[in-house]
Structure 1
Amino acid sequence: MTLLERSARIIDEGVDEGQQAIHPMDGSFHEIADDVSIVCAFSHVWSVATEEGLVAIDTSLPAFAPIALDHLRRWKGLPVHTIVYTHGHMDHVGGASAFVEDAQQQGRAAPQVVAHEAVDRRFDRYTLTQDYNRLINRRQFGRSGVMDMFADDWVRPTTDYAAELDLEVGGTSLGLFHAEGETDDHTLVWLPHQRALFAGDLFIWYFPNAGNPQKVQRYPAEWAAALRRIIDLRPALLLPAHGLPIEGEERIAMVLDDVATALEGLVADTLEMMNAGARLDDIIHQVRVPDDLMAKPYLRAGYDEPEFVVRNIWRLYGGWYDGNPARLKPAPDQAVAAEVARLAGGASELASRAIKLSEAGDLRLACQLAEWAAQAAPDAPGVLEQRAAVYQKRRDQEQSLMSRGIYNDASKP
């Protein structure tokens, strides 16, 4: 079964083939259409063959770049003429230095690198926050090394643009246009003669990563608008950076409409409650995506989740104050924890109650009590172990990678 056949079966028949089938990362090579290929990686490396050389769309992580280069050499025997960054995240740009080094070893000029103008600013920010990004990526992904390469030797764009760019390489025309969504520097790549749209991370076969609690601002309304723009182009091929490619104008339109509808609903419902004066606490416990949408195989909350997107909508339109005046200038967490523990009869009582609530299924409240107990008296017998047990149970019951990573980190005594 080809990648396109697999995606059609999953979408049309609702067949659950598992995440490994939906998200191939095995370094395999596939020609999806004439002169269009994919190397399946942590973030895929897409390529378009032209008379002058290859256009590589993203370069994946450093570990995958040599694999991709080997496949591309054997595919057409053409050099990589141009690299297009769909955005500046490490798993999309991290392999670029290997592409540059390969060109140098072959005695060729380095590929031109094309990206939105905000990519350079992203690299500057990463350089300022290297240690922070290493910390949160270890927490988020749960394993050191996969996303741990934040350096100051980025392969920066040689050509950038603001809104749209007509790019021609070897007689092949590609249209680049800017979008906001997971990032502020996203580029969509349109290959008109194939009616193929390279979507980067604007479609990822998960609920959109528009709420990541440890990363900078995301843009859910703009993300939905970008998906509507893709639908208007009527692509015959949708080629994302994560997950399977999709074929068929109607199928693509249906999938993108579902994703856009989910995001638009969160934005509309959150803003309605904000405009009515609701607090953030009220909104995150009331705004929901309809169950029929969340059940779609390409909208499961396996990476990000709607509750986190609601928080990002609040942050985008309302700032960081959540509407609770006690949290405008709060007492230190440890002071609050100590006072609550005193009222409860001690940190051990709080921790014991947290275990009981955990066993009863109230994990939200259990985590709060366990955290207070540990902050109030970390040296009290059994407190840290009980806290770890509560967070471990919470981790095991979560679906999204974001939640599981944070709770797994918290479950370590």
Structure 2
Amino acid sequence: LVYTHGHADHVGGSFAFAADATSNNHPKPHVIGHENVNARIDRYTQTSDWNIRINQRQFGGIRSDMGLNIGENLQRFLPRATMRPDETFRESHIFKAGGTQIELHHARGETDDHLWAWLPEKKWLFSGDFVIWNYPNAGNPQKVQRYAFEWAQALRRMIEQGPELLVPAHGLPIEGKARIATVLDDIATSLESLVTQVIEMMNSGETLDTIIHTVRVPQYILDKPYMRPLYDEPEFVVRNIWRLYGGWWDGAASRLKPAPDAQVATELAKLSGGAENLMARALELMAGGDIRLACHLADFAGWAAPQDAAIHANRATIYEQRRKAELSLMSKGIFKGAARESKAIAEKK
């Protein structure tokens, strides 16, 4: 087995291969992965409950629509019997399997333990999650750091090999040297553009608030079938680029050491004549099409009146509407989570 990286959907089923080998009296599978995979497995063990929670939220926005059962009734985020790599490497590793030479190359991208595989004799490329038939997962708001520029560099290196068949970890294979090069170049160019734009604005002294509302990917790029922002989205990638190069502080002085959200919300509610006035304005904004601003006021109203059933019923309505308006799974999941949170308060007996 070769782990392209240590995410649960790429290593979590390994125990089944081990169990099958044991039941058939075969040798245990030999597992190869990058040297950082073991540290990731250790981190998943340490933060198991947290990872269960955030993945339930991440996929929760589409769960009912698609009949999915992701993260439900889990006791551990990663199965206890998940196999760890027997053999690890840092930069590259070459071996033969069935007489075929396989090259493994490490590159940071979606993770710090990612690799891609190249079969030079066949000109086959196994890209792992560097290609997912969606906009690159380089921004995920609930997960650890991603590496957009190094992701693009890895794609450039893949193009140099001249692959004639690309097999991604998610989505359909792609055949044809020119077609593959186009796909890889489009992904790399978009990531490079985001990194360049963000760093230029950072160097000019702009705040994160200005950057996330300025930097864009052209719509014609997002319309391509392998660049659709249906899982992650460019706005989140922009935030991750800022985090990598600029840290966690967003540039607003009040948010360096902020007052509690509930305290700020209570003051705003007093100024506006009550939490119900904040919510009334939120509903007006939603009706007028400004759902982003409506969510801010809905949150303030909810924080100022944490047990008010009417306030939270309206907050749930606003976030349900926000979920429906979004394209990416990650946005849908988080906004659906907010709706569920308020719905539970509104329906409390």
Does the TM-score normalized on the shorter chain lie above 0.5?
yes
Matched to 2:270, the amino acid is: R
**How far, CA to CA, are the matches of 1:383 and 1:123 in structure 2?**
42
How far is the alpha carbon of 1:153 from its aligned partner? Answer: 3.5
Summarize deviations over 1:44-99 as a string: whole Å, max 9, x none.
xxxxxxxxxxxxxxxxxxxxxxxxxxxxxxxxxxxxxxx00000001111110000
Bigger drift between 168-177 and 112-121 goes to 168-177
Matched with 1:22 is none
CA contact (8 A) 1:127 1:151 kept: no
How far did 1:385 drift?
A: 0.5
Give the AA of the match of 2:31: V
SS of the residue aligned with 2:31?
Answer: strand
Q: Please say if 1:265 is aligned against 2:193.
A: yes
The aligned counterpart of 1:174 is: 102
Distance 1:268 1:400 in 2: 23
Residues 169-200 of structure 1: per-residue CA shift (max 9 Å, x gap): 23221000001110010110111121000001
Pair 1:319-2:219 in alignment: no
**Percent same amino acid among aligned pairs?**
56
- The one of 8, 17, 22 equivalent to 1:104 is 22
Aligned equivalent of 2:329, options 401, 406, 411: 401
Q: 3-state SS of the aligned residue for 2:206?
A: coil
After TM superposition, the structure 1 = structure 2 runs for residues 5-404 of structure 1, keeping only pairs within 5 Å, are 83-142=1-60, 143=63, 145-147=69-71, 148=74, 149-380=77-308, 382-404=310-332
**Is residue 12–residue 79 contact of structure 2 (8 Å, CA) maintained in 1?**
no
SS of the residue corresponding to residue 57 of structure 2 reads: helix
Deviation at 1:377? 0.8
Aligned partner letter, 2:293: L
- With 379-388 and 335-344 compared, the bigger mean Cα shift is at 379-388
The higher relative CO (CA closer than 8 Å, separation ≥ 6) is in 2
Inter-partner Cα distance in structure 1 for 2:31 and 2:85:
5
1:145 is displaced (CA, Å) by: 4.6
168-177 or 141-150, larger mean C-alpha shift: 141-150
Q: Is the contact between residue 302 and residue 400 of structure 1 (CA under 8 Å) also seen in structure 2?
A: yes
* Structure 2 residue aligned with 1:16: none
RMSD of Structure 2 on Structure 1 (CA): 1.1
5+ residue gaps, structure 2: 344-349
Aligned residue pairs, count: 331
Structure 1 or 2: more strand by fraction:
1
Following superposition, the deviation at residue 152 of structure 1 comes to 4.1
Match of 1:382, SS state, is helix
Compute the displacement of 1:380 (Å): 3.2
User: TM-score if structure 1 supplies the norm length?
Assistant: 0.79
**Greater per-residue helix proportion:** 2
Structure 2 CA distance for aligned equivalents of residues 160 and 145 of structure 1: 33
Q: CA deviation at 1:294?
A: 1.2
